[in-house]
Amino acid sequence: MAIETAQILKQLNLQPERTIRVVAWMAEEIGIFGGKAYAKQHAAEMGNHFAAIETDLGAGHPLGINVCCDGASLKILQPIANVLETSGAGVLRSSEETGADIIPLKVAGVPTFSPIQDLRKYFDYHHTAADTLDKIDPHELQENAAVVDVLAHALATMQAELPREPQSVPDWLK
């Protein structure tokens, strides 16, 4: 999804004001090592990270966007949900859970996001030998890429600032 999002932005020749960075995370299940390493490597520039999006729950039909921000942010983000409503992905939900890999960014105060997806089949294959690409519906994968693309582009061109809520770093994350 992330790579397809970058490809769509390139194909449409969109030049957002902010950089959109695609990161391939590693070792989440055994300690969020990739997320922690990224946050450590980019600690000095964390204030420049406007937002983070994680896509780590398969590719079931997208229903909307999880937002780990305060209620005021939902009003700021409502136009994005309105755009996605026509595709059936217009739900905008405040959620503490937007993805494990971006927890270190969230702790640093970066607003975090993830697609809300239909998970009814996800755990049938998750982390099993049958967890292979042929289980993905290509149309639903395209729908998800479109949702992430709309969200990424909107965040990268947004004039309003989103509230940042730095948190104390839990011991398990150090």
Annotated catalytic residues are 28
Q: Which two tokens stand for residue 52?
A: 């983070």
DSSP letters for 56-80: -STTPPEEEEEEES-HHHHHHHHHH
Closest CA to 20 of 135, 150, 119, 142: 150
Task: Find the radius of gyration of the CA atoms of the chain.
Answer: 16
